[in-house]
Amino acid sequence: ETRLPNTVYEEHFKDWQSIHGIVFSDPLEYRSRLRIFSKNHDLIERHNAPGNASFRLGHNEFSHMTWQEFAAQFMGFNASPAHPGTPAFDAVASEGRTQCTGE
C-alpha cells in the first residue's frame, strides 16, 4: 500500500483544489474529502507503477469522491419524468391480459 506523509497528500489536494476551483468551507468536509482524495491518490500511484497496466490513471475533478458517490451521482438512473405532468401508468394483469391504468 502506498502511504505518503499527510503533508504530501494535503499539498497534492490543495494543488488539485486550485486546478479545479473546488473549495470546502466546512473543516470536517475538508478533512473527509482530503482522506478520500488520499485513498484515490494511492490507487492511482499503485495502478501507474511500472508494469501494472497498459494505461495510466490521473486525478480529475472527481478525485474527492468515493466510487460509490460518483456512481450514484453520475451513473444512476434518473427516475424523474422527462415531461412533468405526464400521467404514470401501471400494468395490471387481468384474465390473461395486461391492462394499463393511469393515475
Q: Which domains does the chain have, with CATH numbers?
A: 6-78 (1.10.287.2250)
The three cell numbers of residue 95 are 384474465
- d(C-alpha 92, C-alpha 87), whole Å: 16
pTM of the model: 0.69
Per-residue model confidence (pLDDT) at position 63: 97
What letters, b where the CB count within 10 A reaches 16 and e where it falls short, cover 19-44?
Answer: eeeeeeeeeeebeebbebbbebbeeb
**37-95: pLDDT as tens digits:** 999 999 999 999 988 788 999 999 999 999 999 999 988 766 565 556 655 555 555 55
